[in-house]
C-alpha cells in the first residue's frame, strides 16, 4: 500500500465519517431530549432521499437547491411522528421503554412498506446534477465533490447546531426540558411543543443528510438499514444525547471503517467499528462524551 493510497483511504474515511455524523446527530438529539431511541431514523433518511430524488426527477431541481425543501419536509414529518405516534407511546403506564421501541419500530416498518408500495422497490438514483460524479484531483488524491460538499455541510450544520443549542431560547428550552421535564412545565414551557420541535429538528437533520447522500447514493425502500446501524453505533460511541460526541464518533467510525477495510481482509470491515464499540461499552459505558 502506497502513501498515496493510504491518504486516499483516510480522506474518503474522513468525508464519509462527517456524513455519518450528520446522519447520526438527529438520533442523538432526540434521545438526549427524551430518552427515546427512534428506530425509524434510517427510514427518515430514506424518505429524505426519495424526496430529493423526486424533486430532481419531476422538476429537475438540483439536489443542492432541494436540500432546504427536503430538510423542511422532514421537519414536518418528524414533528408529525411525535404528535401522531410517539406522544401516545410515551403515555404508557408500564414498560414505557418497550412501548416506545415498538412504536418507532412499527413506524419504521410502516414507512418502509408505504415506500415500497408507492415508489416500487426499484433502485433509483439521481443522474445529472451539479456536483454528481465530479471529482477534485489533488495530485492523485481524488476527492469526490458530492462527498466534499457533504463534509462541509456537516461541519457547518454542527456549528449552527452548537449556536442553536447555546445561544437561542429554543435551544435553552430543549436543554431545560431534557434536564427536568417537570420543572419546565412549572415555568410555562409546553413540554409537548418542545418535544415536537425536537423531533422535527432531529428529522430535519437526517433530512439534510439524505439530500446530500442522494447525490451519490442509490435510493430504494431499504436504503436506511445499513446507515441507521452505523448511526446507532455513532450515537452510542459518542455518548447518547451528545451532539459534539456524534461529530467525533462519526469521524472515528468513518476513519476506522476505511482503515479496517484497507488493512484487514475487507470482509472484516465492520469488525473494526464494532470492536471499538465493544471497548467503549466495557471501558466507558456512557460513551466518549456522554453525560448519563
Partner 1 sequence: MNRRELLLGGAAALSLAAAPRARAQAAEVPVGLIYPMSGANAQIAADARAAYETAAEVINTAMDLDLPMARSVGIPSLGGARLKLIFADHQADPQKGRSEAERLITQDKVCAIVGAYHSSVATTASVTCERYGVPFIAADSSSPSLHRRKLSYFFRPAAHDEMFSEAMFDFMDAQRKKGVKIETIALFHEDTIFGTDSAATQTKLAQERGYRIAADIKYRANSPSLTAEVQQLKSADADVLMPSSYTTDAILLVKTMAELGYRPRNIIAQAAGFSERALYDAVGDRLGGVITRSSFSIDLAAKRPAVARVNEIYRAKANRDLNDNTAREVMALLVLADAINRAKSTDGAKLREALAATDIPGEQTIMPWSRIRFGADGQNTSADPVLVQYVGGKWVTIFPEAAAIAAPVWPMNG
Q: State whether residue 142 is helix, strand or coil.
A: strand
Interaction between residue 270 and partner 1 (CB under 8 A): yes
Site for partner 1 in 124-163 (CB under 8 A): 124-125, 127, 133, 135, 137, 142, 144, 146-147
Interaction between residue 276 and partner 1 (CB under 8 A): no
Interaction between residue 14 and partner 1 (CB under 8 A): no
Judged by beta carbon, residue 76 or residue 263, the one nearer partner 1 is 263
Residue position matching grid coordinates 436506511: 224
Nearest-10 crossing angle of helices 191-216, 3-34: 160
Interaction between residue 114 and partner 1 (CB under 8 A): no
Site for partner 1 in 248-267 (CB under 8 A): 257-259, 261-262, 265-267
Interaction between residue 212 and partner 1 (CB under 8 A): no
DSSP E strands in 134-233: the ranges are 135-138, 141-144
Site for partner 1 in 163-202 (CB under 8 A): none
Alpha-carbon distance of 253 to 267, in angstroms, equals 16
Judged by beta carbon, residue 144 or residue 290, the one nearer partner 1 is 144
Judged by beta carbon, residue 71 or residue 147, the one nearer partner 1 is 147
CB 236 within 8 A of CB 280: yes
Residues 198, 191, 99, 228: what is their CA dihedral angle, to the nearest 10 degrees? 10
Binding mask 20-39 for partner 1 (x = CB under 8 A): x-------------------
Judged by beta carbon, residue 60 or residue 266, the one nearer partner 1 is 266
Interaction between residue 50 and partner 1 (CB under 8 A): no
Which of 41, 187, 47, 191 lies closest to 114, judged by CA? 47
Nearest-10 crossing angle of helices 63-81, 41-59: 140
State in angstroms the smallest separation of the CB of 147 from partner 1: 8
Judged by beta carbon, residue 204 or residue 260, the one nearer partner 1 is 260
Q: How many CA atoms lie within 13 A of 45 on its CB side?
A: 32
Between the alpha carbon of residue 10 and those of residues 6, 130, 141, 275, 285, the distances in Å are 6, 25, 10, 19, 28
Q: Nearest 5°: phi and psi at 94?
A: -125, 160
Interaction between residue 43 and partner 1 (CB under 8 A): no
Query: Rule CB under 8 A: which residues touch partner 1?
Result: 1-2, 5, 8-9, 12-13, 16, 20, 112, 116, 120-125, 127, 133, 135, 137, 142, 144, 146-147, 216-218, 220-222, 225-227, 230, 257-259, 261-262, 265-267, 269-270
Amino acid at each position: 500500500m502506497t502513501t498515496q493510497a493510504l491518504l486516499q483511504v483516510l480522506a474518503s474515511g474522513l468525508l464519509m465519517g462527517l456524513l455519518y455524523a450528520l446522519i447520526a446527530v438527529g438520533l442523538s438529539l432526540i434521545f438526549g431530549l427524551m430518552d427515546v431511541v427512534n428506530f425509524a431514523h434510517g427510514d427518515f433518511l430514506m424518505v429524505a432521499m426519495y424526496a430529493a430524488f423526486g424533486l430532481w426527477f419531476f422538476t429537475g431541481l438540483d439536489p443542492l437547491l432541494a436540500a432546504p425543501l427536503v430538510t423542511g419536509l422532514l421537519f414536518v414529518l418528524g414533528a408529525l411522528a411525535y404528535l401522531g405516534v410517539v406522544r401516545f407511546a410515551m403515555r404508557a403506564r408500564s414498560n414505557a421503554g418497550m412501548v416506545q421501541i415498538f412504536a418507532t419500530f412499527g413506524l419504521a416498518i410502516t414507512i418502509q412498506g408505504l415506500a415500497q408500495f408507492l415508489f416500487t422497490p426499484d433502485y433509483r438514483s439521481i443522474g445529472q446534477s451539479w456536483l454528481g460524479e465530479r471529482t477534485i484531483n489533488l495530485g492523485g488524491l481524488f476527492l469526490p465533490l458530492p462527498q466534499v460538499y457533504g463534509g462541509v455541510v456537516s461541519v457547518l450544520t454542527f456549528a449552527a447546531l452548537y449556536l442553536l443549542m447555546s445561544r437561542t431560547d429554543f435551544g435553552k428550552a430543549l436543554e431545560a426540558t431534557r434536564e427536568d421535564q417537570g420543572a419546565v412545565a412549572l415555568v410555562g414551557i409546553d413540554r409537548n411543543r418542545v418535544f415536537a420541535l425536537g423531533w422535527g429538528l432531529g428529522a430535519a437533520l437526517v433530512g439534510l443528510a439524505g439530500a446530500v447522500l442522494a447525490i451519490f447514493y442509490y435510493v430504494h425502500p431499504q436504503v436506511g438499514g445499513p446507515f441507521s446501524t452505523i448511526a446507532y453505533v455513532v450515537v452510542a460511541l459518542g455518548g447518547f444525547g451528545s451532539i459534539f460526541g456524534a461529530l467525533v464518533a462519526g469521524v472515528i467510525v468513518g476513519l476506522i471503517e476505511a482503515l479496517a477495510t484497507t488493512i484487514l481482509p475487507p470482509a472484516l470491515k465492520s469488525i473494526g467499528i464494532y470492536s471499538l464499540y465493544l471497548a467503549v461499552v466495557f471501558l466507558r459505558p456512557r460513551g466518549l462524551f456522554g453525560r448519563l
